[in-house]
Amino acid sequence: MIRQLTEQDHQQVLQLIGKKPAENLFIIGDLEAYGYDSDIQQLYGEFQDEQLIALLLNYDHMYVMYAEGTYDVEGFARIVNTDEQLLGLSGMYDILTSLYPLIEKTPKRSGKMHYAKCTALIGEAPPHRFTIRKTTVEDIPQHRALLQQIPEFANSTTTEEQMIRTIENQTGRTYALWEDNQIVSVVSTAAENLQSAMIVGVATHPDYVKRGYATALLYKMCEELLEEDKVVCLFYDNPKAGKIYERIGFEPIGYWGMHNF
């Protein structure tokens, strides 16, 4: 049986997703932010013998699927297919493989990314003689200026207002490395919640690459998050980048699938 969940189901929800905070980072974060009684968010669950076994989160027409074992694929597909404003469907790839073929809308873009998590760092922090500190609202113009000089971030639609909101709402943070009186490398988080956080926006100015700056920042960021008892997660599609992440303690946990409509 699938039904929409309410606050009364919260303990069962936590029991299901709390065992895998990395895999459920987005569901956990959105529940913390918006709860069960929101105009832009609904959470559906499947029960077997009164036990919750699967979840489908709808956040503003962006769906995230999670299940333990087999689940009612046709039932969850019906929920997604009735959304005429469907924008996305994502989740751990092995969970989505049976659901994707039943989605009636043709995606504009599909893909899967390597997904990794870190629960403990390996080795010691890389030695450095430069300044690393957490960015503030006043640093955002420099942060954006750096990203605009890097091809993979140059077309980002993220505004300064959104970056300010992330800092103020504490749903993300950024560490920056300073050299020559400017920000030359950054590492950020997104979707932070009480149990996990996603590493995003790893970037270094083209004139300062291959100096270990991003690795030093990443180590510093992970160190802080782990001290807060958070699992650190990240996506990557470059195997070379994956080797760097593994060297400091990240371990692969599968693939993250994404359909964008």
pLDDT tops 80 at residue 198:
yes
Tell me, what's the pLDDT at 1? 96
Residue 199 banded pLDDT, cuts 50, 70, 90: very high
3-state secondary structure of 1: coil
Mean pLDDT estimate for the chain: 93
- Whether 48 shows a pLDDT value over 80: the answer reads yes
Tell me the per-residue pLDDT of 238-255, one tens digit each, with 9 for 90 and over: 888 888 899 999 999 999
pLDDT at 107: 95
Q: What is the pLDDT of residue 90?
A: 97
**Res. 45 pLDDT band, cuts 50 70 90:** very high
Q: Report whether 10 contacts 36 (CB < 8 A).
A: yes
d(CA 84, CA 77): 13
What value does the mean pLDDT take over residues 11-21? 95
Q: Nearest to residue 194, comparing CAs of 15, 11, 21, 19?
A: 21
**Residue 147: per-residue pLDDT:** 92
Could you write out the DSSP letters of every residue in 68-92? SSS--HHHHHHHHHT-TT--EEEEE
pTM for this model (two decimals)? 0.88
- pLDDT, residue 162, reads 86
- Give the span between the Cα atoms of 140 and 145, in whole angstroms: 8
Compute the distance between CA of residue 126 and CA of residue 220 in angstroms, rounded to an integer: 9
pLDDT for position 171? 84
Q: Which two tokens stand for residue 62?
A: 């962006």
- What is the arithmetic mean of pLDDT over 21-31? 94
Answer whether residue 170 shows pLDDT above 90.
Answer: no
Spell 232-251 as b/e; 16+ CB within 10 A means b.
bbbebeeeeebeebeebbbe
Whether 146 and 178 have beta carbons less than 8 Å apart is answered as no
Band (pLDDT 50/70/90 cuts) for residue 57 is very high
155 pLDDT above the threshold of 80: no
User: pLDDT tens digits, residue range 97-125?
Assistant: 999 999 999 999 999 999 999 999 998 87
pLDDT digits (tens, 9 = 90+) for 121-152: 998 877 778 899 999 999 999 999 999 999 88
